[in-house]
Chains A and B, each alone.
Chain A
Amino acid sequence: MTKVLVFIDNPGASLKKSSLELLTLARSLGESTVAINGDLSDDVAATFAEYGVGTVLHPSANDLGDFLVAPKAAYLAAAAETTGAGIVLVDNSPEGKEIAARLGIRLNAGVITDVVAVDPDGTAHKSVLAGSYNTACKATTAVSVLTLKANNVAPEPASAPSTPETATVEVPAVANAARITAREQKVASGRPDLTDARIVVAGGRGMDGDFGPVEELADALGAAVGASRAATDAGWISHDAQVGQTGKTVSPQLYISAGISGAIQQKAGMQTSKVIVAVNKDAESPVFEIADFGIIGDVFDVLPQAAAEIKKRKG
C-alpha cells in the first residue's frame, strides 16, 4: 500500500477545511502519516484519529517558523524518507508550493501544483493556462509531491477511527535560510476565507472608493469579499483581497463581480467559478462574455437592492 505523507503547518486549535481535504485525499490513496509543525492540540489529535491517520510526526526543532520554508522542506524530506512515503501532499498556498518545490529537489521527486484531484495510480488533475485546459499529469519519479487546491475534496472521516502513533523526526541543519525578523498580524475580517469560500462578492474600480455595498451583499450571502487590482491598488481594500493572476485564484460556487471590467489578469483568477454574475454599467465590458447572469446597471443601485431582498427572503 502506498504511504502518503501529509504536511500540516501550525494546525492551531482545530483543523482548517483545506487540511481535512488533504487527510481525506491521503486516505483514498494509501496509508496516511501526518507531519505537523507547531503544537498539537487535543482537538486536532482527535481529528487525526477520526480521519484514520496512522502516525503523527513532530520536528525535533521548534523554530522552523522563524525561517522561510527551507528548514520546513528539510524536515518534510526527512519525514518522507523515514516513512518511505510515495506521495507527499501539501496545501496549495504560496508557502505550501515553495515547500513542495524544495522538497522535490531534496527527494528527487516530481512536483505538481494546483492539483484538484488524484487518481488511485497517482495521476494528478489540474487546470492550466488560466483555467483554459484540464490536464492530467504524473510524476515519473519514485516519490511524487502534490499541492492540493482547496475546495476540491469533500472532507470525510474514516469509517473506523485510528489510534495514531507519534514520533519525532530529526530536522537536518539548513545553513542558508532567510530569517523572519518581524511579523505583523493582520486583523481577521470575520468573513470566510477568500480561497475556500463558497461564494465570493468582488468589487472593482466601479466601487469608486466605497466597498460598503460589496460588504453588505457579501454578508447577506455569507460570502468572502474579493477585489480587482485596481481596487486594491487604490487602497480601498487590503491587497489580500485581490483576485487574479497576481492575486488569489478562486473557484467558488458563485462569483459576483461588481464594477469590474474583466481584464484578462482578473479573469485568470476567477473564470473557473461555477456561476458568474456580473454587474457593470458598461455593456461592452469583457466580463459579460463569461457571465452566466449579467446586469447592465449601477452597482450602487443593484447591490443594495439585492442585499435587502436577500435579507427579506431569509427573514
Chain B
Amino acid sequence: MKIVVLVKHVPDAQFDRHLNGEGNTADRDESILSELDEYALEAALQLAEARGGSKAGNQVIALSMGPAGAVNAVKKSLQMGATEGVHLTDDALAGSDAAATSLALAAAVRHLGGVDLVLTGMASTDGETSLVPAQLAERLGLPQVTFASSLEVDGGRLTARRDADTSSETVEAPLPAVVSVTDQINEPRYPNFKGIIAAKRKSITTLSLADIGVDPAQVGFAGSWTTVTSAEERPPRTAGTIITDEGDAGIKLVDFLAAQKLL
C-alpha cells in the first residue's frame, strides 16, 4: 500500500499563540508536529505493519506543506516510522487558506502518484477548521471519510466507524480515499532510539510549486478565497473570586449564581 499522511507544523498550543505574521497569520516560531496528525501517522503505520511493513513494499509517506521549519514535522514522522518524507515548500504558499492549501496538497498527492490512501488528523490545531480533508477529497474526486475512530482496509475497500451526534455510523468506501481520524483511533507511539537513528538515513524530498505544476497565483495570499481583515487579541481571562470550602461552599456557589442572575 502507498499511504500519504498529511503532517502539519503548527504553533505549540502549550505556549501563548499569536497572529502577527503578514495578513494576520499565525506566528510559527514555537512550532511542532500537530498532535492530532500523530493519530493519522500511527493509523498509517499500523496499516503498513499489518501488511508486512516496508519490506513488503508498503510506503508511509509523510507530507508537509509549509515554510523551512515545517521539515521538522516530516523528520518527527520519519522518527516515528514513516518510510519517506516530502516537504512541499515555496514562498508563494504563505498565507494559503484551506481552499489554496487543498489545491496544493491535491497536486502534491497527484505528483506522488499511485496513492491508495491519504490520512489526515481531524483538524489542524492552529486553523481548527477541519476543511482541508474534505476539500482535498473533492479536488481529487475521491471518497472521503472524516472523523474515523476506527479504520480497516481489506483489499480495495475500507471500513471505518465514526461517531455522529445522535448515532454511530459504520461507513465503507473504495480505495483510493481520503480519511481523517480522531484521537480515539489509537495511541500514537513515541519515536524510540532505533527510530531516531533510522530516520537519519531516510530521504526527504523537497518539492516546489513548479515541481507539482501549480501556478503560484493559485495559492498563498493571491490564490486564497478568504482573507482575514482584522484580528484582535482577546484580553486573557482573569481569575475571579476563589474561596476555600468551609462546609458551605455549595450555598455560596448558589448565592453567586443568583447574584449573576443565572438561576
Chain A interfacial positions (CB closer than 8 Å to B): 68-70, 73, 93-95, 97-98, 100-102, 104-106, 108-114, 123, 127-141, 175-186, 188, 199, 221, 239-240, 245-246, 253-254, 264-265, 268, 271, 275-277, 279, 283, 288-298, 301-310, 313-314
A268 neighbours in B (Cβ, 8 Å)? 13
B72 within 8 A of A: no
Contact B237 A290 (CB under 8 A): yes
Minimum CB–CB distance for B142 against chain A, Å: 6
Instruction: Give the distance in Å from the alpha carbon of A68 to the alpha carbon of B177 in the complex.
Output: 13
Instruction: Give the distance in Å from the alpha carbon of A314 to the alpha carbon of B262 in the complex.
Output: 12
Q: Digit string of B154-197 for contact with A (CB within 8 Å is 1, else 0)? A: 00000110011111111111100100001110000000000000
B252 neighbours in A (Cβ, 8 Å)? 295
Chain B residue nearest in CB terms to A309 = B254
Contact A139 B171 (CB under 8 A): no
Instruction: Give the distance in Å from the alpha carbon of A131 to the alpha carbon of B234 in the complex.
Output: 8
Q: A175-B141, A288-B242 are in contact. List 16 more A-B contacts (CB 8 A).
A: A70-B137, A94-B164, A105-B139, A133-B233, A139-B225, A140-B225, A176-B141, A180-B171, A183-B169, A240-B165, A277-B257, A290-B239, A292-B240, A297-B249, A301-B245, A305-B249
Contact B226 A112 (CB under 8 A): yes
> B203-243: which have CB < 8 Å to A?
224-234, 236-237, 239-243
B22 within 8 A of A: no
The one of A137, A186, A295 that contacts B167, using a Cβ cutoff of 8 Å: A186
Contact B145 A178 (CB under 8 A): yes
In the complex, the number of residue pairs spanning A and B with C-beta atoms less than 8 Å apart equals 263
Chain A residue nearest in CB terms to B121 = A246
Minimum CB–CB distance for B219 against chain A, Å: 14
Instruction: Give the distance in Å from the alpha carbon of A140 to the alpha carbon of B160 in the complex.
Output: 36
A182 neighbours in B (Cβ, 8 Å)? 169-170
Chain B interfacial positions (CB closer than 8 Å to A): 13-14, 16-17, 19, 24, 26, 36, 97-99, 102, 122, 125-135, 137-139, 141-147, 159-160, 163-174, 177, 182-184, 224-234, 236-237, 239-245, 247-254, 256-258, 260, 262-263
Contact A128 B169 (CB under 8 A): no
Chain B residue nearest in CB terms to A239 = B163
The one of A93, A132, A136 that contacts B17, using a Cβ cutoff of 8 Å: A132
Contact B131 A97 (CB under 8 A): yes
Residue with the highest number of chain A CB atoms closer than 10 Å, among B126, B138, B245:
B138
Contact B128 A111 (CB under 8 A): no
Chain B residue nearest in CB terms to A256 = B253
Contact B13 A264 (CB under 8 A): yes
B146 neighbours in A (Cβ, 8 Å)? 68-69, 94, 98
The one of B168, B232, B237 that contacts A184, using a Cβ cutoff of 8 Å: B168
A177 neighbours in B (Cβ, 8 Å)? 143, 173
Contact B131 A304 (CB under 8 A): no
Instruction: Give the distance in Å from the alpha carbon of A130 to the alpha carbon of B177 in the complex.
Output: 30
B131 neighbours in A (Cβ, 8 Å)? 97, 100-101, 104, 111, 113
Chain A residue nearest in CB terms to B39 = A246
Given contacts A111-B225, A113-B130, contact A101 B138 (CB under 8 A): yes
Residue with the highest number of chain B CB atoms closer than 10 Å, among A110, A130, A246, A307:
A246
A140 neighbours in B (Cβ, 8 Å)? 224-227
B263 neighbours in A (Cβ, 8 Å)? 221, 310, 313-314
The one of A109, A175, A246 that contacts B225, using a Cβ cutoff of 8 Å: A109
A108 neighbours in B (Cβ, 8 Å)? 225
A291 neighbours in B (Cβ, 8 Å)? 239-240, 242
Contact A297 B228 (CB under 8 A): no
A-B contact pairs, 22 of them (CB 8 A): A68-B144, A94-B130, A95-B164, A97-B134, A98-B130, A101-B135, A110-B225, A112-B226, A128-B128, A129-B17, A132-B16, A132-B236, A135-B231, A178-B171, A178-B172, A182-B170, A275-B260, A275-B262, A293-B242, A295-B245, A297-B249, A301-B245
Contact A105 B102 (CB under 8 A): yes
Given contacts A301-B250, A310-B263, contact A276 B36 (CB under 8 A): no
Instruction: Give the distance in Å from the alpha carbon of A294 to the alpha carbon of B245 in the complex.
Output: 10
Minimum CB–CB distance for B96 against chain A, Å: 12
Contact A101 B170 (CB under 8 A): no
Given contacts A179-B172, A186-B168, contact A110 B228 (CB under 8 A): no
Contact B225 A141 (CB under 8 A): yes
Chain A residue nearest in CB terms to B14 = A264
Instruction: Give the distance in Å from the alpha carbon of A173 to the alpha carbon of B166 in the complex.
Output: 27
